[in-house]
Amino acid sequence: MASINKLMKQAMRAQQQAQETEAALAARTVEASSGGGAVKVTATCKGVLKSLKIDPEAVDPTDVETLEDLVFTAVNSAITEGQRIQAEEMGKVTAGFNLPGMG
């Protein structure tokens, strides 16, 4: 019975750590840019876009497609980096905690 109690305590601790990590990730930001800094994006590690800055020099009314590509690239880079950090941080929380049938 002691092992079940130990397992329950571990599960509760892991759940609390996961919740704390989730909250920290929601507040933690990553930055990405494209076009040599012409477009800069800040997003949370949970994938929420926080800011988007476009250098006025990057705005060419005759070539909107290039600006769209720069924005697309910067946003995707920020989201990808946030997801990488999220996976890494959540992996730390769940490391060493193996439940039968859970992996």
Judged against a pLDDT cut of 60, whether residue 43 lies above it is answered with: yes
The confidence band for 99, taking pLDDT boundaries of 50, 70 and 90, is low
* Domain locations in the chain as residue ranges: 2-94
The per-residue pLDDT for 103 is 44
Dist CA 92 CA 99 (whole Å) = 16
Determine contact, residues 92/66, Cβ cutoff 8 Å.
Answer: no
CATH code: domain 2-94 is 3.30.1310.10
The confidence band for 61, taking pLDDT boundaries of 50, 70 and 90, is very high
Tokens of 89: 């941080």
Determine contact, residues 83/44, Cβ cutoff 8 Å.
Answer: no
Dist CA 57 CA 64 (whole Å) = 12
Distances (CA, A) of 63 to 46, 58, 59, 71, 74: 32, 10, 8, 13, 18
The per-residue pLDDT for 21 is 87
